[in-house]
Amino acid sequence: MKILVAVKQVASLDEDFEIRADGRDVDPDFLVRDLNEWDDYSLEEAVKIKEAGGEVEVVAVTIGNDDADEVLRKCLAKGADRALRLWDDSMEGSDPIAIGRALAAVVRKEEPDLVFAGVQSSDHAFAATGMALAGFLGWPHAAVVNQLTYGAGTTTAPIRRELEGGLLQAMEIACPAVLSIQLGINTPRYASLRSIKQAAAKPIEVLGIADVGLADADVGEAGSRSRVRRMYVPEKGRAQMIEGTVAEQAAKLAAIIKDVTGGAA
């Protein structure tokens, strides 16, 4: 059995970042990259299924240039058996729908029994890639899953969706399926130093779009449903900052609390 886990190398911003000259993204020099937090949970969920028994192969897949090898190494260190990266320069400017199409092409090639994606990415938070991928495949799909019961040979898996306001819903999904995995479904492990060393020596399979049967028109802006027009720093409200020593700050805080709650000053 095979589980494919789609992962993303996300970017967060340096404190004093600058917008790129064309105004459509942040200057890449100011981006700090890491594995998307949600993907850490979906990888863990796959590795847990593997450890529960049976012949299970966990394949981590990402879309990106060779900078993204770093997150694949992290996945290998945390228990993925194989790592696969798909990239072509024509993929620049892909929105989540184009990424979903590309991942679907990888799934067709790999033929897994189950596909996981994180609910969303911490940088652009479209929360769309996993379910778009399911759309291109025509597979059963469910989003924001925070509980899954699955073993080799499962044809219908019990899941729970995490809804708004502290509500959950139990559902049953036909497999093979695509699930978007929510934070909190498990406790992701830390990679040991030994496994990090071992992962550094493992190969990363690199594919181009032609290898998965895609053309330039399927990816990048041409294959996307939206296009970034402008990126800018919004004017935001700012708290009134309480300065001074810790003792002074705490005294002011205490006064605010007593003032609002009506306690004696």
Partner 1 sequence: MSGILVIAEQRRGEIRPVSLELIGAAESLKGAVGGPLAVALIGPSVDALGAGLNVAGVDEILLVATGSGDYDPDTMGAAVAALVKARDPSLVLLPHSVDSLGYAATLAASLDCGFATDVFKIEHGPEGIVATRGGYGQKVNVEVDFPGRATVMLAVRANVYKPPEGAGSATVSTVAVDAVDARVKPGEYIELSSADDVDMTAAEFILTIGRGIGEESKVEQFRELADAVGATLGCSRPIADSGWLPKARQIGQSGKTASSCKLYVAMGVSGAIQHLAGMKHVSTIVAVNTDPAASIFTVAKYGVVGDIFEVAEELRTHF
Contact, 188 vs 43, CB < 8 A?
Answer: yes
Piece of the chain touching partner 1 by CB under 8 A; list 64-72, 80-88, 203-211, 239-247 = 239-247
1 binds partner 1 (CB under 8 A): no
180 binds partner 1 (CB under 8 A): yes
Whole-number Å distance between alpha carbons of 249 and 246: 5
- Least distance to partner 1 from the beta carbon of 264, Å? 11
Whole-number Å distance between alpha carbons of 81 and 60: 8
103 binds partner 1 (CB under 8 A): no
Binding residues among 245-264 for partner 1 as defined by CB under 8 A? 246-247, 249-254, 256-257, 260-261, 263
Binding residues among 38-57 for partner 1 as defined by CB under 8 A? none
CB-nearer residue toward partner 1: 157 or 191? 157
Contact, 3 vs 50, CB < 8 A?
Answer: yes
Rounded to 5 degrees, φ, ψ at 166 are 80, 25
**Is the C-alpha dihedral spanning 239, 245, 250, 251 positive or negative?**
negative
Contact, 141 vs 178, CB < 8 A?
Answer: yes
Q: Which of 64, 79, 96, 112 binds partner 1 (CB under 8 A)?
A: 96
Binding residues among 128-147 for partner 1 as defined by CB under 8 A? 128-136, 140-144
Is residue 34 helix, strand or coil? strand
Q: Which of 168, 200, 210, 215 binds partner 1 (CB under 8 A)?
A: 168
Q: Which of 22, 165, 201, 217 binds partner 1 (CB under 8 A)?
A: 165
Whole-number Å distance between alpha carbons of 6 and 218: 19
Q: Which of 65, 70, 122, 206 binds partner 1 (CB under 8 A)?
A: 122
231 binds partner 1 (CB under 8 A): yes
Distance of CA 115 to the CA centre of its chain: 13
Q: Which of 187, 190, 194, 201 binds partner 1 (CB under 8 A)?
A: 187
Tokens describing residue 207: 């594919």
